Structures are given as C-alpha cells and as structure tokens.
Amino acid sequence: MSWRHQDPAALADAAVSSLALAADPFAQSAAPGFWAWSRDAHRAVTDAVLALPDDRVRTLAEAVAKAPDDISSCRRLTVLLADRIRRRGDDPDTARLAALVWDAETRSRLRMQTGTERPAGLGTPGAREILRTARPAARAAGPVDAALVVPFRERGGESDRTRNLAAVLHALNDQTHPRERYRIVVVEADSEPRWESVFAPYCDTYLFARNAGPFNYSWTINAGVVHGARPAGLICVLEADILVDRGFVERAVERFRVPGTQAHWPFEDILYLDGASSHQAVTERCLEGRAAVERDALRGVFLRRSPGACVWLRESLFTRIGGYDERFTAGWGGADNDFAWRADLHGGMDRYRDRMVHLHHARAADWFDAEGAGSTAYETFPWCSWPPHSAIGDLSKFRTH
C-alpha cells in the first residue's frame, strides 16, 4: 500500500502532526524512546512541508514550528495541505511530501492531536481542591470483584503529580460499579510517608512502602498487590496520572465474565495531554462532575498501543507469572513491556478501545534521559532477545561446506 489509498485530509493532518512533534518538547517527552526511533521520519516531513513552493503553506508551517500549540495555525495549515494533496497529488513536491508523511505514519507510534480552542480562565486546581468534592472510600470489609493498585511518589511539595493522583482518586470513587465491590490501593514508595494525610481518606488501603533509593515501579506494584489487593479476583494496575471515566470499573469487570478471559488493556491508544489540556480534563471530570472528558477537544500526543498506563488481569495470572520484574530499577520504562509479554504468553492479552487520557507532569529522570551518552543509547537497550549482529536471512548460514 502507498499514500495514494489515504484520504488527503488524513495525510494533511499527519503532516501537521509531524511538524508539531518536531517542534514540541512536551510531545517528544511523552514517550522519549518512541520519539527517538521515529524523529528522522517526522523531521523529513517537516523539511518537505517547508520546501513546498507555496508562501501561504510556508508561512503557516513556520508559525507552527515556532508555536506548535497554536491551534489556529495548525488547523489552517491542515486545510491548505489537504487541498494541495487533493488537487496536485501528482506534482513532484506534493507527491514527495505525501510519501514521506505515509512513511512516518507507518513507522511512528506517536501522533499529535490539535484539539480545539481552550476555555478561558482555566486555573490549576490543587489536590485538596479536587478532593473536596470526592466521595470517601467505602472501606468495605467483605469480598470484592476487583482491586486497583496505584503506585506513587512525590518528594517535593504540591505538584502536577499530586494533582493527578487526586484526580485519579476522585474518578475512581465516582464509578457506576458498586463502590463496595472494588478496592482502591495507593502505594507510596519513599523514605518516609509524605502524602498519607491527603490521600488516605480516598483509598481503601494506603500502603507506605519504604524505599529511599530510586523509584522501583515494579516492586511498588508488587507490594500493593501482595499487601493491599488480595484476595480480590481481579487486579488493575493503574498509573497515578490516568484519568478514567465513570464506567471504567464496570466495563472491566464485565469483560472478565467471558470464559477464557485472563487479561486485557482497556485502550488502544492513550492521549498524553499537554499542561493546559490536563487542567481542562481535571476540571471537566472532577470539578464539574462529568462522566467523561471530551477527549476530541483536548490537545496532546497519542501513544499508539502503549504497553503500560493501565492493565487488568486475574489475580491468579499475576501470581503465576510472578508479578512485575523487580530487577527494573531505573524509574519508569521496560517493566511494563516485560510484564505484558509474560502475561500474554501465559494468559493472553486482549485489547479494547476505551478513550483514556494521561495527565501531564514533569518527567522524572530515567534511562530514557541517557540519550546524551551516545547515539545508540535507545537502540542498544535490552528490550528483546534478538539483537541481529549480521545480515538476516543469509542462505549460507546453515551450510556445512
């Protein structure tokens, strides 16, 4: 297949996505490894757009490169490019651009969403403001259908991370599934418990796991399952920045009623929101009490088929595969892939299309930030067991003479 089977509007939207990705540090930091593996393709699209012999296109492209969150310029440029591809697709410059756009689309896992004009006057709600309208935890003593484990650390003061956890707890306590039938477990892994007084009233279990060293995501989750989630039959590992809708728990529990179902991701693509859209999403879901955020109106970058953020599985499968690999000690990254591969091998991982969003926060230093150590930092990370060091498919490989 080539770019010619694609709708011109879709190609134009993807072209503007590449321009915004290449210019926006926020978008690149949402998934740094995936950006590093596809950035050359996105930059080639950017260069091709700027090289078009059209002053209107070039002016708008330069505006987007300077201000990738300029929604008006992004939309106007998309219209111009769609019209050009539709009318002049055989022109060499236009055809080259379309081919480069399609190449980026077939190799990249990142895609920008422009969103719509933002409401005026949106502030930054703090954790305590958000939680003022949250329902307290049920703390039911009887059996439950599911337990949701949320790993957390924040060593500074109030921040986007504390706002995000407050929003997550607000949303988890506002569900259509009976509240006494599921349990919320927050695990704070740190040298001392810093946030228990703020968040504990909105959890069924607030577990402090002492760890003064680097944040060990895997160990923190395992501690939450062993010391807070059991004996629930279903486990959800939910990161402390994933804002869910009101039907989130009920849908997941229903999916496990299908015989043979052992694990699933509830989403295909997660939208990583920028700072302003995160404020907007928290306002809509928590302060205004909406059942879900209006995701199409928000600005952010999609990470396609993410292995992390949120996963559901039977507790029996979690136990069979030994939980998360605690040897992953360098912050966030890698552990989700490893866990998903093992869960899929032993139980099979389904995937659904829930419309989920990730709230923005400053990134902690982790192995992704080691790019400056060398150009092969990402390529040599031991994700898988197959690093080919010679030509593949060599017909002479098994010759004996």
The set of residues, in sequence order, having a beta carbon less than 8 Å from that of 86 and lying 6+ positions away, is: 8
Q: What is the pLDDT of residue 287?
A: 95
Amino acid at 269: D
- Asked whether residue 66 falls in the same domain as residue 152, the answer is no
- Asked whether residue 182 falls in the same domain as residue 297, the answer is yes
Q: Measuring CA to CA, how many Å separate 265 from each of 64, 81, 261?
A: 34, 35, 12
- Asked whether residue 345 falls in the same domain as residue 246, the answer is yes
Q: What is the pLDDT of residue 379?
A: 54
Joined tokens for residue 135: 């329902």
Domain assignment of residue 388, yes or no:
no
Q: Measuring CA to CA, how many Å separate 1 from each of 4, 5, 6, 399?
A: 8, 7, 9, 36
Domain assignment of residue 375, yes or no:
no
Joined tokens for residue 67: 């201000």
Spatial separation of the C-alpha atoms in residues 286 and 76, rounded to whole Å? 33
Residue with tokens 């069924």: 204
Decide: residue 195, CB within 10 A, 0-12 exposed, 13-18 middle, 19+ buried: buried
- Asked whether residue 285 falls in the same domain as residue 318, the answer is yes
Domain end call among 81, 108, 135 = 108
Divide the 401 residues of the chain into consecutive groups of 10 and give the mean pLDDT of each group.
Answer: 84 96 92 89 97 95 96 96 92 94 95 86 86 90 93 94 98 97 96 96 96 92 95 97 98 97 97 95 96 96 92 97 86 79 95 96 59 48 64 74 67
- Asked whether residue 141 falls in the same domain as residue 180, the answer is yes
Domain assignment of residue 385, yes or no:
no
Q: Please count the other Cβ atoms lying within 10 Å of the Cβ belonging to residue 289.
A: 11
Domain end call among 108, 135, 169 = 108
Q: What is the pLDDT of residue 254?
A: 98
Domain assignment of residue 398, yes or no:
no
Q: Measuring CA to CA, how many Å separate 125 from each of 151, 159, 199, 279, 283?
A: 22, 10, 15, 7, 8
- Asked whether residue 46 falls in the same domain as residue 132, the answer is no
Joined tokens for residue 7: 């709708």
| Integer Rg of the chain from CA | 23
Give strand ranges (E) for 315-382.
Answer: 349-351, 357-358
Spatial separation of the C-alpha atoms in residues 108 and 304, rounded to whole Å? 9
Domain assignment of residue 10, yes or no:
yes
- Asked whether residue 171 falls in the same domain as residue 23, the answer is no
Give strand ranges (E) for 153-210.
Answer: 182-190, 205-210
Domain assignment of residue 372, yes or no:
no
CATH classification at residue 236: 3.90.550.10
- Asked whether residue 216 falls in the same domain as residue 156, the answer is yes
Q: What is the pLDDT of residue 333?
A: 63
- Asked whether residue 291 falls in the same domain as residue 251, the answer is yes
Domain end call among 55, 80, 108 = 108
- Asked whether residue 261 falls in the same domain as residue 152, the answer is yes
Q: What is the pLDDT of residue 392?
A: 64
Domain assignment of residue 265, yes or no:
yes
Number of structural domains the chain divides into: 2
Domain assignment of residue 116, yes or no:
no
- Asked whether residue 139 falls in the same domain as residue 210, the answer is yes
- Asked whether residue 248 falls in the same domain as residue 277, the answer is yes
Parent domain of 295:
127-364
